[in-house]
Amino acid sequence: MLALGAYLAVAAATPLWTAALGAAFPGEMRILYPDAAPLELVAQHLELVLISSAISIAVGLALGVFVTRPAGAGFYDVVNDLTNLGQTFPPVAVFTLAVPFLGFGLRPTVVALALYGILPVLRNTVAGLKGVPAEVLESATGMGMRPAERLLRVELPLAAPVIVAGIRVSVVVNVATATIGAIAGAGGFGAPIINGLVNLAPAITLEGALLAAGLALVLDALLGGVEHTLASGRPSAV
C-alpha cells in the first residue's frame, strides 16, 4: 500500500517528470506526452487493468472450480486447451479481430486482456485445488460437509496461496500487455509509447515505459504480500 502511494505521488508530480526526462534527453524538445499528464495515464491504464483482471480472475476461478468438480471433470482438457490457445494467440490480433464487433476504445481492449489473463488464474486454481490432500477431502466429506461447504471452507482456503500466485502473474503480465490497448484507442501507457515511436521522441516512450514498469512492480509487490501472508499464516496445501 505504501508502494502504491509512493507510485501515485511520483506519477502526480508532472514537473518532476519534465525535469528528469529533460535532463536525460538534453536538446530534445518533446519531453512529455502532450495529450495527458502522467497521472491521467495511470488512471486510464489502471481502469484497463482492473476491469480486465477482475474478469480474468472471476472467469479463471469459476472455470478452475468447475473442472475440478465431478460434474466438470470431463471438461478439464477442453478448458485447458482453449485457455492455452488464448494465450498463444497474439493480443494484437485479438484487438484487431475484436474491433469490428466491439468498436474502438476500452471494450475490445478489456475483452482481449481478460481472455489473455485467464490462463494463469485457471492453471493455478486447478493446481491449488488438486493439491488439497486426499485424506483431507475424504474426512471433510465423511464428516458430513456438503460439496459447497467443503469447497468454501476447506478447498479454497487451502488452495488460496497458490491461486493468489496465479492472480499475481496474471495481473503483472496484464499491466505490460495493456499498453497495446493504445492501438485500439483505449489510452493508458501505450499512448505515450506509441506516440514517441511514431514521432521519434524517445523521451515520451520512456515516460510510458517507466510508468508501466513502476505500476507492474507495485502491483507485484502488493499481491506478493497477500500471497506471502496467506502462505505463512498456516501451512498451504501444496
Partner 1 sequence: MISIRNVSKSYENAESAAVRDLSFDVPTGEVVVLIGPSGCGKSTTMRMVNRLVEPDAGTITIDGQDVREYRPEQLRRRIGYAIQGVGLFPHWTVAQNVAVVPGLLGWERDRIAERTTELLDLVGLEPDAYGGKYPHELSGGEAQRVGVARALAADPPVLLMDEPFGAVDPLTRDRLHVEFLAIQDRLKKTVMFVTHDMDEAVALGDRIVVMRDGMLVQQDTPERVLAYPADEFVASFVGTERALKRLSLAPVTEALAPVGLAEGCQCSVSATASLREALARILELGVPAIGVHDERHRLIGAVSVESIVERFKRPLT
- Give me the residues that bind partner 1 (CB under 8 A), please: 133, 135-146, 149, 154, 157-158, 234-235, 237
Helix H segments across 144-201? 147-150, 156-177, 190-198
Closer CB to partner 1, 199 or 229, in the complex: 229
Closer CB to partner 1, 49 or 164, in the complex: 164
Closer CB to partner 1, 90 or 153, in the complex: 153
Least distance from partner 1 to the Cβ atom of residue 228, Å = 16
Closer CB to partner 1, 131 or 224, in the complex: 131
Closer CB to partner 1, 14 or 146, in the complex: 146
Least distance from partner 1 to the Cβ atom of residue 230, Å = 10
Least distance from partner 1 to the Cβ atom of residue 137, Å = 8
User: Of 75, 52, 54, which Cα lies nearest the Cα of 63?
Assistant: 75
> What number of CA atoms fall less than 13 Å from residue 62's CA on the CB side?
6
Least distance from partner 1 to the Cβ atom of residue 152, Å = 12
Q: How far apart are CA 156 and CA 225, in angstroms?
A: 19
Task: Give, in order, the Cα–Cα distances in Å from 39 to each of 60, 108, 153, 217.
Answer: 30, 23, 41, 17
One-letter identity of residue 40: E
Least distance from partner 1 to the Cβ atom of residue 31, Å = 52
CB-based contact 168:231 (threshold 8 Å): no
Least distance from partner 1 to the Cβ atom of residue 145, Å = 7
First-to-final CA distance of the chain: 28
Closer CB to partner 1, 26 or 144, in the complex: 144
Q: How far apart are CA 230 and CA 160, in angstroms?
A: 7
